[in-house]
Amino acid sequence: MIEALTDWFLREGRALPFRAGHSADGDRPYYVLVSETMAQQTRMEALVPYYGRFIARFPDIRTLADAGEAEVLALWAGLGYYSRARNLHKAARAVCERHGGAVPDSLEALRALPGVGAYTAGAVASIAFGLPCPAVDGNVRRVYARLFMSDGGDVSAWARGLMDQAPPRLVTESLMELGALICTPSPPKCGRCPVSEHCRAFSEDRVADFPARRPKPPKREENRTVCIVRDGEDRVLLRRRTERLLHNMWEFPVEEQLLADGFAVRRDPAPLGTASHVFTHIIWRMTAYGARVTTDKQPENYLWAKGLRGLALPSAMRAWARLLFAGE
Ligand code: SF4
């Protein structure tokens, strides 16, 4: 099976900029660390332009370590799951402090870096260093569940066994690619699958039964009254978030928060518009109003901004950014 899988990958795998043969010469372990961190919760195609901009600005791990968090977040803006960016930044600093600026080549040292879990450590260890360390994500679990008609089983041990038969880098990338392109959640493209003759679910016509679906918990909905506050100098009021969600990112403030921070708020009666943003566990239902504010002293974490360029503004704010600064 492994030969059919890796042959297929070498023939049909996507020419992604961080893959061997497609990335510039340089710090390959760093490229893998960045791309695999970005790839968590994000489709490969979606992350490619972000990756390009990120590597252009931070071509090596030391440059990333030396940068300020605000700039790292600004380059991540739009990718979501910003704790990944914060952790990647901390990991870069830890690599410089503990390992002299070289991404470590052991699973244990990789796992000890901030934000680096079993999956990312396995991906860097196998892809960048050729170590027999599996990287098991949802894609690989799905492939395994269908191949063996099993929702249990030791997926890591199976992937490690494949690494006895082919280079670890090829095994990791081939499995990820199969899950991303062919053995997709639904419907999988079994007619084009290089390993269909080894697949139990396919041979028994039970592909739809694996992996078993677990009901997702409902998302909590939050209604937010967004205030678009401008002053006489054509500046707009932004707030730097202190909450865990979107921590340190800039937002157009909500009325409730403005009041809590000591502003008096007068908002227009008619809304400017509505928008929703879906996070993993929460949905923001936002209604925006033009507003004016007064305050005795400007509280911390607020900024009167002329424009939004260079500021870490999350995707959730895009609708209002477009409304205000079309073309920026
Ligand atoms: Fe997945 Fe279908 Fe291939 Fe089986 S045959 S591994 S279900 S794509």
Could you give the domains of the chain? 2-209 (1.10.340.30), 220-324 (3.90.79.10)
**Alpha-carbon 74 to chain mean position:** 14
In short, whether 8's Cβ falls inside 6 Å of ligand 1 is: no
pLDDT number for residue 297:
82
Q: Which of 108, 107, 112, 137 is nearest to 122 (CA)?
A: 107
Q: Are 160 and 177 in contact (CB under 8 A)?
A: no
Residue ranges of the chain whose pLDDT lies below 70: 20-26, 326-328
Q: Are 82 and 42 in contact (CB under 8 A)?
A: no
Q: Are 196 and 190 in contact (CB under 8 A)?
A: yes
For the segment 186-221, what is each residue's pLDDT rounded down to a tens digit? Answer: 889 999 999 999 999 999 999 999 998 888 888 999
- Residue % of the chain over a pLDDT of 90: 78
State in Å: Cα 144 to ligand 1 middle: 9
Nearest residue (CA) to ligand 1, atom 1: 183
In short, whether 147's Cβ falls inside 6 Å of ligand 1 is: yes
pLDDT number for residue 296:
86
Best residue among 12, 142, 196, 198 to mutate for probing ligand 1's pocket (most ligand atoms within 8 Å of CB) is 196
Nearest residue (CA) to ligand 1, atom 2: 190
Q: Are 161 and 155 in contact (CB under 8 A)?
A: no
Please tell me the distance from the alpha carbon of residue 238 to that of residue 230, in angstroms, as a whole number. 10
In short, whether 143's Cβ falls inside 6 Å of ligand 1 is: yes
Give first-to-last CA distance, the chain, whole Å: 50
pLDDT number for residue 328:
47
Please list the active-site residues: 36
pTM for this structure? 0.78
pLDDT number for residue 21:
58
pLDDT number for residue 22:
53
Please tell me the distance from the alpha carbon of residue 249 to that of residue 313, in angstroms, as a whole number. 6
Q: Are 253 and 238 in contact (CB under 8 A)?
A: yes
Count of beta carbons in the 10 Å neighbourhood of residue 184 = 13
Q: Are 274 and 286 in contact (CB under 8 A)?
A: yes
Place of tokens 């990287």: 135
pLDDT number for residue 327:
45
DSSP notation for 111-167: HTSTT--HHHHHHIIIIIH--S-----HHHHHHHHHHHT-SSS-HHHHHHHHTTTS-
In short, whether 175's Cβ falls inside 6 Å of ligand 1 is: no
